[in-house]
Structure 1
Amino acid sequence: MSTLSNNPISTQYAEIARGAWIWAVVRGALAIVFGIVALVSPITTAVVLAIVIGVFAVVDGIVDLVDAIRHRGSPGVGLRVFLGVVSLLFGIIILVWPGKTLGFMVVLIAIWSILIGLLQIVANVSIRKDAPGAWVWGAVSGALGLIFGIVVLFNLGIGLVALIWLIGIWAIVFGLALIVLGVQVRKASTAVTAG
């Protein structure tokens, strides 16, 4: 695209992007699968919902940490490590205390989503000069998480089924944004290689 030709991505970012884009696609695919499961499975108890969300958060956190460790020393790695740790800790907390009340779990989910969203926005805005065009989709996925968390906090009285649907829809949209991000990062790195 013209964005790449007018403001090409840095060589250092291109090196990282060649191996990192797949992790965004993997995370996106996991989020979509999780969203579909939440929408079509007969999840009828808060405990089952907590376990499903906890497992998703743990896996997402591990994927984030592995990606950050693989690219240690590159810009924004500290934020990615923090993001992975937040997801991992959230997942562990949910799995350790799945019997807590629905209200407690909903607040925890909202706070996690807001934190992750803010961290993703900050991490992607910080690399905008290195990755023009590609950073936007990372910021979009962060904004989706932020909006989801705020929506949940302001609708704490919704029932379990409505919450599951909300989480499922968010996960699918979030997953799609991450997949687009991965594809954009791959295109950006390929453009540098070709150039």
Structure 2
Amino acid sequence: MSSILHRGVSRTGWLLVFYGVISILFGISALVWPGGTVIALTWAFGVMALAEGIISVFALFNRHLAMSRGWLIVYAIASIVFGLLAIWHPLAVVNVLLLFLAAWLIVAGIYRIVFAIRVRKEITGEWMIALSGVLAILLGGLFAAYPVAGLLTVAIWIGVAALVYGVLQVIAGIRVHKWKRAL
């Protein structure tokens, strides 16, 4: 293995462990403080979107763009507006996003039920597709009816996902580090 690749792999292992530990800590905090997690996540997405928007504005001055300037302008404006709204009014942004999620779940549920009915003669177990549609509609309805509970539920699921992701990152990082030592 080349020395450049060897050095890159050795750094990658520790980086994976570092990211994994951060993800585990984030997951634990999301489970302990789900309300604060929702606000912090919204604020973090706002900061990221604002940074993307500002970087996109600077990219407009580059002669060699991968996409048209028009799309880049639209992207920059949308990123900056969303970023500022998420930073200044995180609860309002989160509530709107949750309502979009609720609407999407309801539409997706209806789609799954219709799909299950249409394919019932071609496949077996279509009832599971229909059931997933019913559950999506129920979840969307619950998110719309009880947005605070929906936000807390999303925060808890994010926390669980972050914990699992973090553990997998730590395991992968340790394995990469052991592999590097074996070379």
Q: Which bracket does the TM-score occupy, shorter chain normalised? A: 0.3 to 0.5
Work out which of the two has the higher radius of gyration on C-alpha atoms and give 1 or 2.
2
- Give the TM-score normalised by the residue count of structure 2: 0.45
Between Structure 1 and Structure 2, which shows a larger proportion of helix residues?
2
